[in-house]
Each structure stands twice: as structure tokens, then as C-alpha cells.
């Protein structure tokens, strides 16, 4: 059995750092104030769908 090449540790470390910086970058991007109105609007979508469904149900009754 041959020992593992020491370069693999450096490659794995570089990949972990790349994933960590990507995660932190996406997290910072998502929490910017610029995106708050869009995210608030998307958060209200399920409630709007329920209101529309309830209104449709009331209109179908005789």
C-alpha cells in the first residue's frame, strides 16, 4: 500500500476554503438591505395563495 501524496491535504484545504468563502459571500449577499423588500414580498406569497384559495372556495358555494 502506498502512502497518500501530501499534496492532497493542500488541495482539500483549498477546496474547503473556497467553499467557506462562497458560503460567506452568499450569506452577505442575501442579508444586504437591498434585497429585503424582495425577500419580504416572497415571504408573504404563501399567505396570499391561501387568501385567494379561500376566496375561490367562497365563490363556488351556492
Q: For 2, phi and psi rounded to 5 degrees?
A: -90, 145
Pairwise CA distance, residues 18 & 40, whole Å = 30
In a domain, 28, yes or no: yes
Question: Residue 17 domain-assigned?
Answer: no
Q: Is residue 5 part of a domain?
A: no
Q: Is residue 32 part of a domain?
A: yes
Give φ, ψ of 31 to 5 degrees.
-95, 5
Predicted structure pTM score: 0.56
Cα radius of gyration rounded to whole Å, the chain: 25
Domain that holds residue 29: 23-57
- 3-61 residue pLDDT tens: 678 888 899 999 999 999 999 999 999 888 888 898 889 888 888 876 666 666 665 55
Q: Which helix (H) or strand (E) holds 26?
A: helix 7-30
- Name the CA dihedral angle for 8, 10, 15, 16, rounded to a multiple of 10 degrees: 110
Amino acid at each position: 500500500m502506498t502512502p497518500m501524496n501530501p499534496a492532497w491535504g493542500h488541495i482539500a484545504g483549498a477546496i474547503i476554503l473556497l467553499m467557506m468563502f462562497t458560503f460567506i459571500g452568499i450569506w452577505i449577499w442575501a442579508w444586504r438591505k437591498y434585497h429585503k423588500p424582495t425577500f419580504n414580498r416572497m415571504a408573504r406569497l404563501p399567505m396570499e395563495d391561501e387568501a385567494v384559495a379561500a376566496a375561490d372556495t367562497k365563490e363556488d358555494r351556492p
